[in-house]
């Protein structure tokens, strides 16, 4: 039987298109033969060599939950047997992962399913799912002795990168679109000490500049084309399965922007299935905002044969992306798991976000596309009432308070939506009321709120 240590040593890089297997990655993490993306794979896992006991791994990971070792306390590094090897002395961790899985009873009712849960990746140290990939990729930068790390971002990657770079005593360069990211996210990268450049372009324009920059300067690229990011983000799915006692749900639903997260979660599911850690694959479905839906259109209009970049626009600024880098990886996991792709409108996102809030959970707008998408998948019959569903909430409510306040004040969207949607929004809106500091006035407000 192989020892557990051996498993993590066996990672190789491979191009997803031409299959080339470079010994190391170029600065832009593109295949030097064909220009496509690289991924890690683990040749030692292929049958019949993977003669190890899944139960041993599960017991080891569970035992680490009570360990006092720093790496064991991270919900990413705890699962290091399924990741490429990075020596412990290079690990930069903020004890990321370990995020809660919540029951969502009210949201289940509005979506028309019996059992709905949400894994809240917004409960990570910098309040988004990016930390799980960033701990791993920033550690790889540290191992490779880079002084500077950089990313293009809609705000969450940059916040996360800035934090991990600071912890690892590296400098960080952030390229973000001027004006189209929330103050919460911007303020994080400032406080964590990043050189923050707001470029007069959109996210896709920031990516273009960054790709040129890394070819000229010794700067380590930390966007999700970096395959270490994807490896770290896999652990959200591993941890989810552990929380579900290794009994997979029927459906997992994720938001789709640059499509790194869906690729990572799908990769983890496929690998866990291969390693017999789970007995069947959940269907992984990807939801995009209607105004930023290049992947939805790729699948629906072109059968996934090509992706036409677009100029993206949505108030869910985290996923305001018109040319997603990882679309081929995401397509592969969509097909392998039998998932669906769906698009949702601005009002559908806003309503779903308030519904998630009304369950006492809350999330940022991009995360709410999952519930909005579930409602549509349920109506179309792709999801059945008795099936179990897990939504991946990617960012915390406080990432974008501006959106939330505008929604509750009725200032978010014009009146262009259908009457039934406007009525649903109104029902959920809780604008603050300004009153005199007088007991009678407050009691009157309370009594008015109690009336049906």
List residues binding ligand F0G (CB under 6 A): 128, 130, 153-157, 224, 255-262, 318-319, 364, 366-367, 394-395
- Nearest residue (CB) to ligand F0G, 225 versus 241: 225
- Nearest residue (CB) to ligand F0G, 7 versus 284: 284
- Nearest residue (CB) to ligand F0G, 139 versus 263: 263
- Nearest residue (CB) to ligand F0G, 61 versus 220: 220
CA dist., res. 111 & res. 115, Å (int) = 10
CB of 264 to ligand F0G, least distance (A): 8
CB of 396 to ligand F0G, least distance (A): 9
Contact indicator for 394, 363 with CB cutoff of 8 Å: yes
Query: Would residue 245 be called left, alpha or beta, if left means φ above 0 and alpha means ψ between -120 and 50 degrees?
Result: left
CA dist., res. 176 & res. 310, Å (int) = 18
- Nearest residue (CB) to ligand F0G, 7 versus 141: 141
- Nearest residue (CB) to ligand F0G, 247 versus 308: 308
CB of 342 to ligand F0G, least distance (A): 14
- Nearest residue (CB) to ligand F0G, 235 versus 367: 367
Task: Look at strands 148-152 and 171-177 and give their pairing.
Answer: parallel
CB of 67 to ligand F0G, least distance (A): 30
- What is Dmax (Cα atoms) for the chain? 76
- Nearest residue (CB) to ligand F0G, 73 versus 258: 258
CA dist., res. 314 & res. 328, Å (int) = 23
CA dist., res. 324 & res. 320, Å (int) = 10
* Residue corresponding to tokens 């009210």: 106
Q: Quick one: tokens of 19?
A: 């299959």
CB of 318 to ligand F0G, least distance (A): 3
CA dist., res. 333 & res. 262, Å (int) = 8
Q: Which residues pair with 393 in a beta bridge?
A: 120
- Nearest residue (CB) to ligand F0G, 64 versus 399: 399
- Nearest residue (CB) to ligand F0G, 318 versus 397: 318
CA dist., res. 407 & res. 208, Å (int) = 33
Q: Which residue, 131, 396, 154, 335, is CA-closest to 239?
A: 131
User: 247 Cβ partners below 8 Å, 6+ apart?
Assistant: none
CB of 100 to ligand F0G, least distance (A): 17
* 408 CB-side CA count, 13 A: 13
CB of 280 to ligand F0G, least distance (A): 25
CB of 146 to ligand F0G, least distance (A): 20
C-alpha distances in Å from residue 261, one per residue of 82, 237, 352, 394: 17, 10, 20, 9
Residue 393: helix, strand or coil by DSSP?
A: strand
Q: Which residue, 91, 119, 32, is CA-closest to 232?
A: 91
CB of 367 to ligand F0G, least distance (A): 6
- Nearest residue (CB) to ligand F0G, 277 versus 331: 331
Handedness of CA 56, 59, 63, 69 (dihedral sign): positive
Q: Which residues pair with 199 in a beta bridge?
A: 177
CA–chain centroid gap for 42, Å, is: 23
CB of 422 to ligand F0G, least distance (A): 26
- Nearest residue (CB) to ligand F0G, 132 versus 156: 156
CB of 47 to ligand F0G, least distance (A): 30
CB of 49 to ligand F0G, least distance (A): 32
CA–chain centroid gap for 123, Å, is: 12
Task: Concatenate the DSSP letters of all residues of 40-87 into one string.
Answer: EE-GGGSTTT----HHHHHHHHHHGGG--SHHHHSTTGGGGGGS----
Residue 48 preceded by cis peptide, ω within 30: yes
């Amino acid at each position: 039987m192989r020892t557990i240590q051996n498993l993590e040593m066996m990672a190789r890089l491979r191009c997803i298109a031409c299959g080339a297997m470079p010994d190391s990655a170029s600065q832009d993490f593109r295949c030097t033969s064909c220009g496509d993306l690289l991924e890690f794979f683990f040749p030692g896992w292929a049958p019949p060599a993977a003669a190890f006991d899944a139960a041993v791994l599960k017991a080891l990971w569970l035992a680490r939950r009570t360990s006092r070792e720093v790496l064991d306390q991270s919900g990413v590094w705890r699962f290091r047997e399924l990741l490429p090897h990075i020596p412990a002395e290079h690990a930069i961790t903020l004890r990321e992962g370990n995020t809660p899985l919540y029951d969502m009873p009210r949201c289940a009712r509005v979506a028309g399913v019996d059992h709905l849960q949400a894994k809240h990746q917004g409960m990570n140290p910098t309040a988004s799912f990016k930390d799980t990939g960033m701990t791993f990729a920033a550690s790889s930068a540290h191992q490779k002795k880079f002084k500077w790390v950089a990313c293009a971002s809609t705000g969450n990657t940059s916040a996360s990168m800035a934090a991990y770079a600071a912890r690892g005593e590296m400098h960080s360069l952030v390229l973000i679109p001027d004006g189209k990211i929330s103050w919460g996210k911007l303020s994080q990268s400032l406080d964590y000490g990043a050189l923050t450049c707001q470029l007069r372009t959109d996210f896709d324009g920031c990516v273009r500049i960054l790709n040129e920059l890394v070819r000229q300067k010794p700067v380590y690229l930390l966007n999700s084309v970096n395959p270490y990011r994807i490896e770290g983000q896999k652990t959200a799915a591993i941890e989810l399965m552990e929380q579900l006692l290794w009994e997979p749900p029927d459906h997992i639903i994720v938001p789709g922007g640059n499509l790194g997260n869906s690729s990572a979660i799908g990769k983890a599911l496929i690998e866990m299935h291969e390693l017999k850690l789970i007995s069947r694959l959940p269907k992984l479905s990807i939801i995009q905002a209607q105004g930023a839906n290049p992947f939805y259109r790729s699948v629906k209009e072109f059968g996934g044969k090509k992706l036409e970049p677009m100029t993206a626009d949505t108030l869910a600024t985290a996923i305001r992306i018109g040319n997603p880098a990882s679309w081929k990886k995401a397509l592969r996991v969509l097909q392998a798991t039998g998932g669906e792709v769906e698009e949702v409108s601005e009002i559908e996102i806003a309503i779903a976000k308030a519904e998630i809030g009304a369950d006492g959970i809350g999330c940022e707008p991009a995360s709410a596309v999952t519930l909005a998408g579930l409602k549509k998948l349920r109506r179309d019959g792709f999801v059945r009432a008795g099936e179990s569903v897990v939504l991946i909430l990617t960012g915390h409510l406080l990432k974008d308070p501006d959106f939330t306040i505008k929604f509750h004040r009725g200032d978010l969207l014009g009146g262009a939506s259908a009457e039934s949607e406007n009525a649903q929004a109104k029902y959920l809106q809780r604008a603050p009321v300004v009153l005199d500091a007088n007991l009678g006035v407050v009691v009157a407000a309370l009594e008015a709120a109690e009336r049906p």
